A = this chain, B = another copy of it.
């Protein structure tokens, strides 16, 4: 077995703490990645605190992993020792169901094997994520990372990046279109960058006036403060696409009403309470409501290549792993612009 070190939550109410564990010995199709940077996703916190139920402890969170290949199995063809490599939310899937065959492994009908808090396809081995120094993964589930970008800023692309890129691509966002982004956080700030790079006119909706300057710096053309009652009246139903990155319960009606004919709203979060809105909002302009969940491996690679081509990466705050618990608290307060990334070299300090 391969010795690994990281930080784990031992129980739902525990702070994360140092943890030593074993990774499997790499097989012929596996690569071993020395993890250099690991992003902190809000869903890490939900899972480490068992807020979604079914948490498996000890839990080593982390699914925004950037590192370097340190060994390759005999059957590996896409990676060589020394290559940059990334791991996102998944480390395996059945490979044979219609979703997998369509390159949509995140919807694998047997359920994909998630990077942490999940059971390997052997039915027994718990997966451990990126808050650690090394990971063993089938090369098919590893991503090639763009060179020429700051590597810590690349890590969050593996989840925040693909989560926002996928719906923008699915709806064919292009020059001349109006794209709205609800909520300026880890997801929202990537959505701005991508939509802008695709040529859209980008508007950010936020309840925080303090975010306007950042929204514009990140590429937004317009900023709408949604604390003002009736703000939607000024929108003129002009949006082709609105990405909603807010997981808290909120009223969808003003956003739906801001969509133009045939426009679409895409939920990226899962509010706790049921959605509720009048169907007239859909039929009156033939609008669509849908949602999106990360992206498949092929599309994730496309996103990373797009980032390399356009010089896009995440805005981050780099922290040593010893500050992970503090970073969780700050993430919950929204006090991060826009992603914490753990410098894994700090593990040895």
Mark A residues whose CB is within 8 Å of B: 98-99, 102, 104, 107, 261, 264, 267, 269-271, 274-280, 282-293
Q: Are A274 and B278 in contact (CB under 8 A)?
A: yes
Pair A270/B261 contact, Cβ less than 8 Å:
no
**What are 6 sample pairs from A and B whose C-beta atoms fall under 8 A apart?**
A274-B278, A275-B279, A282-B290, A287-B291, A288-B288, A288-B290
Tell me whether B283 and A267 are in contact (CB under 8 A): yes
Question: Taking each of A275, A279, A282, A290, which has the highest tally of chain B beta carbons within 10 Å of its own beta carbon?
Answer: A279
A292:B283 contact, CB within 8 angstroms: yes
Chain B min CB distance to A140 (Å): 20
CA distance in complex: A309, B285 (Å):
30
Partner of A279, one of B98, B271, B285: B271
Are A270's CB and B283's CB within 8 A? Answer: yes
For A104, A271, A283, A286, the residue with the greatest tally of chain B CB atoms inside 10 Å of its CB is A286
Contact of A275 among B269, B278, B285, B290 (CB under 8 A): B278
Cα of A274 to Cα of B261 in the assembled complex, Å: 21
| CB-defined contacts of A271 to chain B, threshold 8 Å | 279
A291-B293 Cα distance, complex, nearest whole Å: 23
New contact pairs (12) apart from A269-B279, A286-B293, CB-CB < 8 Å: A98-B261, A107-B261, A107-B286, A264-B288, A274-B276, A274-B278, A275-B275, A276-B276, A283-B293, A287-B290, A287-B291, A288-B288
